[in-house]
Amino acid sequence: MIKRLLSGALAAAVAVGASINTVSAEDVLYVPSLSYRTGPFAGGGTPVANGFGDYMTMLNERDGGIGGIKVAVEECETGYNAQKGVECYEATKGKGALVYNPMSTGITLQLIPKAPVDQIPVLSMGYGLSAAAMGETFPWTFTYPTSYWSQMSSILKYIDQNGGLKGKKIGFIYLDAGYGREPIPLLEELAPEMGFELALFPVAGKEMQAQSAQWLNVRKERPDWMIMWGWGAMNPTAIKEAAKIRFPMDRFIGNWWSSAHADLIPVGEAGKGYIGANFSGVGADFPALQDVIKYVVDAGKSQADPSTVGHILYNRGLYNAVIVAEAIATAQKMTGKKSITGADMRLGLENFVLDQARLAELGLSGFTGDLRGDCADHEGGGSVFFQQWNGSDFEVISEPIAPMSDKVKPLLEAAAEAYKADKPEWQGQTCS
């Protein structure tokens, strides 16, 4: 099974001089990539995997790796399937894995209880279990730069700043899976407090490209705003259906998995005005991206279509790699070791500093907001900004909007306590 899962994927996305299977952990910094280039969400998974692998390859080609050791990225194909994700984890964890980036909420939920046992951190960058933002309860799981709950609160804040929430009906259309359902508890908690009515519109996996029933219900319910937690083919289908019923696009907001070029290019002019949340830079006009093009894409070392370099999902994967690379470098400095372990990596993830000065050093000035690793705060103080589709591309329309931490943090703390309540063996940490 595992052999089949690994076939067709990159044996190693970097030039290390030998196959990963024949290189010892001391020779490389080993980072598995739980990718999905196949299956119903391959259109999103492919550019994310490309951006992640290409940045690491660039560091190898330009800098000789991190701290003098090359990074080895091994892809294992999951098809966005949780069980396959677990199989990939079990097949790779013994190779000196430093961190897992599942790129799937379903897989993340399966790996969270495994991480403390194996002492390998899980970085669910902006997705996964929102409660994992509480670092004292979840020492081995990280949600940088924001959890889904925090992101939803930023979306609600944006709406409140643009016409108000009180007395409004907010529609929530979502993929009816762990990912899509994740923010519902927060919405249900905040609706009475903030004075808005909530209307839910679930979309089953088999309905992603057949949503006419949901949008007939939207037309009937007449929400003032629609928020979407979609992925893959669900997103352009939803936007097209919204256009059919003439729902105002400037009142339709997608989360950061629902606002990519792949979602809007098929829609084109009909999607003009659609708004999306984002936390990483758009375009290739950054020195680091130019180095990726020079050392990787133009050198024939990338699987990416050159035209997609700089697109939102490609940059999302690249940003994921930046966080991993900065945490590795921090761990090396703190431990005095070039070859580090998963436990060392956790230390790096809780102590890296990715502020604007450091971003400028990396050739990514303005690419994202400040982010800092922290023991207690596994969101890192991140924020989101909003972008709008102009018919052919996205334009930034807001400054970074911080989450409503005063409202969200108590709910995250309660959710974290609930998670461990039936797990007497669960071990947290105390942060000073």
pLDDT at position 11 over 80: no
pTM of the model: 0.92
And the tokens for 195? 């004075």
Mind listing the domains of the chain with CATH numbers? Answer: 2-146+282-382 (3.40.50.2300), 148-278+384-411 (3.40.50.2300)
CA atoms of 245 and 350, how far apart (whole Å): 47
Residue 26 — pLDDT band, cuts 50, 70, 90? low
Report how far Cα 364 is from the mean position of its chain's Cα atoms. Answer: 18
**Shortest CA distance to 241 belongs to which of 209, 197, 284, 275?**
209
**Shortest CA distance to 351 belongs to which of 315, 319, 323?**
323
Strand 225-229 relative to strand 353-354: parallel, antiparallel, unpaired? unpaired
Cis geometry, peptide bond prior to residue 121 (ω within 30 degrees of 0): no
The HSE-up count of residue 69 (CA atoms within 13 Å, CB side) is 21
- pLDDT tens, 325-345? 999 999 999 999 999 999 999
Strand 197-203 relative to strand 353-354: parallel, antiparallel, unpaired? unpaired
Residue 24 — pLDDT band, cuts 50, 70, 90? very low
pLDDT value of position 17: 30
**Quick one: average pLDDT of 67-77?**
97
pLDDT value of position 315: 97
**Shortest CA distance to 349 belongs to which of 316, 384, 325?**
325
Spell out the SS3 assignment of 348-396. HHCCCEECHHHHHHCCCCCCCCCEECCCCECCCCCCEEEEEECCCCEEE
pLDDT at position 211 over 90: yes
- pLDDT tens, 345-385? 999 999 999 999 999 999 999 999 999 999 999 999 889 99
Which range among 7-11, 236-240, 375-379, 388-392 shows the weakest confidence by mean pLDDT?
7-11
Give yes or no for a contact between 330 and 348, defined as CB atoms under 8 angstroms apart: yes
